[in-house]
Amino acid sequence: MKILSVNGSPHKEKGNTYLIVREFLNGAEEEGAEIIDEIFLQEKKINYCLGCFMCWTKTPGKCIQKDDMGGILEKVLQSDLLLLSTPIYLDGVSAQTKTFLDRLIPVLRAHFTIENGHCRHIKGVEKIPGLFLISSSGFMEMDNFELTIESLKRACLNLYMEYKGHLLRPGSHFMRLKDIYKNEIEVVLKGAKEAGKEFIRYGKVSDETKAKVSIPFCNKEEFVKQTNLLWDRLIESLKKNK
């Protein structure tokens, strides 16, 4: 299976989201997957969609904008799986991720059709990869991912991509607290690697493995207390460095 990893965090490979992505890719690679590229959207020049519809009218399948998205779209179409990763920003995907998603519309064509009783555009390419989501959030509740999952499922319906599932890491800054949560962090990282393996073996990730990646590290009161201590320390250190 050919996997294209697309990361929408401004922190790129240093981010919390990528901790999970890296292990998923390690597991997938061990099971024989080919990682065709790892794209960090923050490093790319990808303009907003202009909404001009030239990719459906004058130059079907091609955007008129000359930026990095043309090459990225080619890679998306070469892949079997788009591994899309994003931090949660205000209960949705990051702006980098949304811009990337909007710029996928050259895979469609202008005319409408009815698919399962719903209006859609017709498909403009023969093969479109499936999509697997990896996301991390700052708050610890799982409901922080709900809107993102739902909107990506809907985007997939529009784009004829099969939504293949997700791995979610809430309260993800605790992944940095290695002294306090060594065991929990290990469970998460091992779970993410196992998820990559399972995905290649079975085409899906079991609920048990997904739960390992999402395990809570402590109760909510403790979570808030420790988080606020982290903020205090950061604010203090920045004051000193002024």
Ligand X SMILES: Cc1cc2nc3c(=O)[nH]c(=O)nc-3n(C[C@H](O)[C@H](O)[C@H](O)COP(=O)(O)O)c2cc1C
- Work out how close the CB of 76 gets to ligand X at its nearest, in angstroms, rounded to a whole number: 21
Supply the DSSP string of the chain, one letter for each residue: -EEEEEE--TTGGGSHHHHHHHHHHHHHHHTT-EEEEEEEGGGS--PPP----GGGTTSTT--S--STHHHHHHHHHH-SEEEEEEE-BTTB--HHHHHHHHTTGGGEEEEEEEETTEEEEEE-SS---EEEEEEE-SSS-GGGGHHHHHHHHHHHHHHTPPEEEEEEESSGGGGG-TTT-HHHHHHHHHHHHHHHHHHHHHSS--HHHHHHHT---S-HHHHHHHHHHHHHHHHHHHHHT-
Residue 87 vs 191, nearer CB to ligand X: 87
The size of the interface with ligand X (CB under 6 A), counted in residues, is 17
Q: Which of residues 164-183 bind ligand X (CB under 6 A)?
A: 172
Binding of ligand X by 144 (CB under 6 A): yes
Binding of ligand X by 160 (CB under 6 A): no
Residue 108 vs 188, nearer CB to ligand X: 188
Binding of ligand X by 136 (CB under 6 A): yes
Neighbour tally for 64: CB within 10 Å? 10
Applying CB under 6 A, which of residues 65, 99, 137, 148 lies at the interface with ligand X? 137
Site track 4-23 with ligand X (rule: CB under 6 A), x = hit: -----x-x---xxxx-----
| Chain residue whose CB lies nearest ligand X | 15
Q: Which stretch binds ligand X (CB under 6 A): 27-35, 37-45, 86-94, 149-157?
A: 86-94
Q: Which stretch binds ligand X (CB under 6 A): 26-34, 132-140, 153-161, 234-242?
A: 132-140
Applying CB under 6 A, which of residues 37, 91, 115, 162 lies at the interface with ligand X? 91
Binding of ligand X by 88 (CB under 6 A): yes
List residues binding ligand X (CB under 6 A): 9, 11, 15-18, 87-91, 136-139, 144, 172
